[in-house]
Amino acid sequence: MPLSPNRLPDAYRQMLVIRKFEEAIRDLYMGGKIRGSFHPCVGQEASAVGACWALQKDDYMTCTYRGHGQALAKGLSVRAAMAEMLGKATGCSKGKGGSMHFTDPSVGLLGANAIVAAGLPLATGAALASQLQKQDHVALTFFGEGAVNQGVFFETLNLAVVWKLPVIFVCENNHYSEMTVSHETTSNSETYKRGESFGMPAVVVDGNDVEAMYAAVEAAAERARSGGGPTYIEAMTYRLWGHMMGDPEGYRAKEEVARAREVEPIVRLGKRLKELGYSQSDLDTLNAEAEAIIADALQFAQNSPAPKPAEAFTDVFA
């Protein structure tokens, strides 16, 4: 079943929440309220929402350091995400993980990961557990196109096919790995061909189209749940902001970014909603609702306590 047109306003609001979350984080970061690094997903909201909405709540998902949107789309509370960014005890990782370690097992979010390609084997392990325990869960892993040159990428895809695991590989191809255009580092930058070469179905999807993403992941999830094994989805998208805050972006032309802004996910879905008969005022209402969700999360996070010093010794391995 495709994503019902009735749900598109909700998808629009969800994408706006993600966009405004990143904008709020940028402002906090610039104001010196957030330490460490932050990798924004502005421009990549449709692949996050389309993919995660096609999963069940108890399906598993792993994402990358660019995964705020993916985590929110999978169901992570905006309050818990914002509090985590501010290092507060009410954060999803008790304020001790920060941007690159968003985790919430209650919504299947097994964790963001700062290590390129590290989420692939984790999701595939979760898929193996689901298969061995005869459960119905599928696992989805998001990664960037830079991850396809890591050894663990090949090892993971191989076993996923050999063991017919219920896992979905979603490559968000935003054309750049840090400050390098991908075709300069990858022998064949059409990464879906690598998935295909292992013998799994592999498709290229317009990653800025939330409905197309939903349809692709839904089909993959159905196949995985019925024992058909893994699928590879290459979601073509574009990162509208720098790799991280402070990225001077000398590696790409301003005109290229301007062209990408014309077809970015929120603009696209706004146009689609208007074609379906929604008015500008309907869109403005959804925008105001998203703003209120972010304002509430900010207030919650700012009023939350910091972790107690003794907490430094809990939830650690050594």
By the rule CB under 6 A, 241 interacts with ligand TPP:
no
Do the beta carbons of residue 155 and residue 117 sit within 8 Å? no
> Shortest distance, CB of residue 237 to ligand TPP, whole angstroms?
9
Whose Cβ is closer to ligand TPP: residue 132's or residue 253's?
253
Among 50, 69, 121, 144, binds ligand TPP (CB under 6 A): 144
Judged by CB under 6 A, the residue of 177, 186, 237, 304 near ligand TPP is 177
Binding residue (CB under 6 A) for ligand TPP from 29, 60, 153, 176: 176
20 lines the binding site for ligand TPP (CB under 6 A): no
- If binding is defined by CB under 6 A, does position 98 make contact with ligand TPP? no
* Interaction of residue 156 with ligand TPP, rule CB under 6 A: no
User: Which three-class secondary structure state does DSSP give residue 180?
Assistant: strand
Report strand pairing: 60-64 vs 139-144: parallel
Name residue, tokens 């960014």.
85
Containing 172, the helix (H) or strand (E) segment is strand 167-173
3-state helix, strand, coil in the chain (%, to 5): 50, 10, 35
The CA-atom distances, in angstroms, between 141 and each of 75, 109, 171, 212 are: 15, 10, 8, 18
Q: Does 145 bind ligand TPP (CB under 6 A)?
A: yes
Question: In this chain, which stretch among 24-32, 128-136, 172-180, 223-231 interacts with ligand TPP, using CB under 6 A?
Answer: 172-180
- Convert residues 64-83 into a mask of x (bound to ligand TPP by CB under 6 A) and - (unbound): x-x-----------------
Q: How far is the CB of 43 from ligand TPP (least distance, A)?
A: 11
Instruction: Select the span of 48-56, 103-111, 145-153, 273-281 touching ligand TPP (CB under 6 A).
Output: 145-153
Closest CA to 21 of 236, 261, 241: 241
- In terms of phi and psi (left: phi > 0; alpha: psi -120 to 50; beta: otherwise), the region of 113 is beta
191 contacts ligand TPP (rule: CB under 6 A)? no
From 112, 147, 160, 260, residue interacting with ligand TPP (rule: CB under 6 A): 147
Q: Give the residues across from 142 on adjacent strands.
A: 170
What span, in angstroms and rounded, lies between the C-alpha atoms of 253 and 86? 33
Tokens of 67: 């995964």
* Residue 111 sits in the site that holds ligand TPP (CB under 6 A): no
Binding residues vs ligand TPP (CB under 6 A): 64, 66, 114-116, 144-147, 174, 176-178, 243
